[in-house]
A and B are shown apart, each in its own frame.
Chain A
Amino acid sequence: MTDAVVTRGLTKRFRGGQLAVADLDLNVPEGSVFGFLGPNGSGKTTTIRMLLGLATPSAGQVQLFGEAMPRGYASALPRVGALIEGPACYPFLSGEGNLRRFDMADRTADPKTRGARIDTALERVGLLAARRKRYRAYSLGMRQRLGLAAALLQPRDLLVLDEPTNGLDPQGTREIRSLVRSVAEEGSTVFLSSHLLAEVEQVCTHAAVLSRGRLVATGTVESLRAAAAGHLVVRTPDIAKAVETLRRLGVADVSGNGDRVTAAADSVPPEAACAALVADGVRVRALAVERPSLEEAFVALTGEGFDVTE
């Protein structure tokens, strides 16, 4: 599998001396939905700006479809659609007028198909009815959709979406999610930055976790999740007895609370634990192995919560 995006030792230090991105090595496989995860202020947008040639790295390299950025922008960027740090359009133009403006700026765009492509893009994001309304009068959610429509004016090999669900209501969030899925099904690579773990967990195949400008983990979402151990959860009215049995079996991290006993999942097979509990007369109401969420994996990987860092 080739990579749509490769970075090596990517570093950005701003003029004030602030280190925004440090020594970042990323591989975004073609055809993946790649979650770029990190708290606000962890360097995600700065990385995206370097990917797209808007900012020059202080050190290291970026390759977009094998082209070194920013030098190779002319052949790499027509293959990329992007939503960077929120949508931005001309407030005095209509939604349609804005899309026409961006499409006319594209030398590779065919003027003959422009009208049809604009219609398709507007329909895809559900803005066909508001096409003639000025952007100034658009709600935040409509603006976000128009930004997406601009990114989808042409078939793209890579879609870079920086926090695409910011400011959207739950319905809008679901729509974006299904849009991302449909774009991925068409074979495009999607690079999705987010500070929301759940969002990445639901749509992404791969992920990288960024913290204070540094990469703390990268891989498939499955492998990241597996990095944190699962839990064995037993529901029973006989808490004390269950804890005693599990400890005797050599299970680690046993603790009881209410009608719930949790323990590390990997030391004993769950069926063996269940048999031992029943044999000891513990009334088992439920027994399950819970896989950790990506959030738990993140905490396990970084030893820190998902708070805003400055």
Chain B
Amino acid sequence: MSPSNPTGLLRSELRTLFRRLRTLAMLAVLAGVPVLLAVAVKAFSAPNGPQEGPPFLFQVTSNGLFVAFTALTVTLPLFLPLAVGVVAGDSLAGEANQGTLRYLLVVPTGRTRLLIVKYASVLIFCLAAAFTVALVGMAIGAVLFPLGRVTLLSGDTIGSGTALVRALLVAGYVGLSFAGLGAIGVFVSTITDVPIAAMATTVTLAIVSEILDAIPQLHAIHPWLLSHHWFAFGDLLREPMYTANVGRGLLLQLGYLAVFGTLAWARFTTRDILS
């Protein structure tokens, strides 16, 4: 029989994922971070106060766009990996735990196809999460602070149109920075039928990577760590854009995707589904 409906599974997967209360709650929490930041800065900022806090925070009062960058910086170490870990860890283990995995497979969906669709939906969630933080940040920034020409980290100024493009690039990079963690999560999700275990393992691995990255003595392994280039998005806010680290970051994510994607495929296409 010819496939009459090749994208149905992905659409169904996204619909199931994004209609789920848990997914919406996680996105709402992520959206709350830039709102909290912007309101706090607006309410309590002293014009010439000390410049403390996360990077970009002190630029917020001069340009609202920086709410988005500050919020991404704040959510990168924990909230974003947590959200990605939950969705990726749950991807197959959740179906197995619920028993729906066996029904999806006898439909039949095909194991390789199901795995690809699961990973694609995880990646789309990563992007959705990053764009939620960025877009809500830009929106609240535009409401509470002046927009206009943006002074970049390099000292140059660019027009607000160009700045908007930069902001979208930054969000896209942050989203794709989780491609590797998503692949790890999906792989872990193929080896257990307990979703919470898969989620916890995935989030733990992300945090271990961040801890190792913070120990200078281990600099030899730093370039290979999952989280090493997560903060490279700041390079996109220079004039001209400095893309070397961003490129390395994306390549590294691709490497993690290749390794863990293959492991997940090898495991998922051969295992007995007994749940």
Contact = CB atoms under 8 A, between A and B. Distances in A.
A52 interface: yes
Given A74-B108, A78-B1, A84-B103, A55 B274 contact: yes
A56 B102 CA distance: 14
Contact of B11 (A89, A91, A104): A104
A53 B104 CA distance: 12
Nearest to B6: A107
B110 interface: yes
B106 A77 contact: yes
A84 B106 contact: yes
Contacts of B109: 105-107
B273 interface: yes
Nearest to A51: B106
Interface of chain A: mostly helix, strand, loop or mixed:
loop
A141 interface: no
A49 B100 contact: no
A105 B104 contact: yes
Contacts of B16: 90, 93, 101
Given A77-B107, A78-B1, A104-B5, 5 more contacts: A54-B273, A84-B102, A93-B19, A100-B12, A104-B9
A111 interface: yes
Contacts of B54: none
A107 B3 contact: yes
Contacts, number: 101
Interface string B9-52: 10110011001110000000000000000000000000000000
A54 B272 contact: yes
A150 interface: yes
B259 interface: no
B4 A110 contact: yes
Interface in B253-275: 270, 272-274
Contact of A56 (B8, B21, B272): B272
Interface of A: 49, 52-56, 73-75, 77-78, 80, 82, 84-93, 100-102, 104-111, 150
B160 interface: no
B146 interface: no
A80 B8 contact: no
Given A88-B100, A90-B100, A104-B11, A52 B106 contact: yes
Contacts of B102: 49, 52, 54, 84-85, 88
B272 A105 contact: no
A86 B65 CA distance: 53
A87 to B, nearest CB: 8
A111 B7 CA distance: 11
Q: Which 8 pairs between the two chains have the least Cβ-Cβ distance? A: A88-B99, A104-B12, A77-B108, A55-B272, A104-B8, A54-B273, A107-B3, A108-B1
A55 B275 CA distance: 11
A128 to B, nearest CB: 21
Contacts of B11: 104
A56 B272 CA distance: 6
A88 B6 CA distance: 24
